[in-house]
Amino acid sequence: MSKLPLLFAFAFTVGCTSDDSGVDPNKRLLSLSSSEEGSLCNYGVSVEAGPRTVTCSDGSTTSIASQSACVASFSQLSASCSATVADAESCYQAIGADPCNGGGSSACLNYLLCFFVSN
């Protein structure tokens, strides 16, 4: 099974994380300011206990990205991206619960389509 290293690099539950990033959950990812991208990525990395590499039960690995790598990924969003902050946070949480398979959950679909749909 293929792992998507940086895209799934945002969500490992840690005891002292907040419930959300503090960014308006209804705001579209394409309209985030640099500061909001940073806040969302700080949340994701915190939830994931990143950066680090996780070895999955099948022997494959997946990378939990740094805050700077997360912020850089926003430049790769498709122009047709309709995902919101809430979509990203849900995906980060799903990956946090299961970093090796969480990105394949329905919680991540809308968020991940933003990186795989052509502009």
DSSP code, position 26: T
For 101-116, write each residue's pLDDT tens digit: 877 888 899 999 998 8
Secondary structure (H, E, C), 47-107:
HHCCCEEEECCCCCEEEECCHHHHHHHHHHCCCCCCCEHHHHHHHHHHHHHCCCCHHHCHH
Q: pTM of the prediction?
A: 0.81
Question: What is the per-residue pLDDT for 118?
Answer: 65
For 30-75, write each residue's pLDDT tens digit: 999 999 999 999 999 999 877 889 999 999 999 888 999 999 999 9
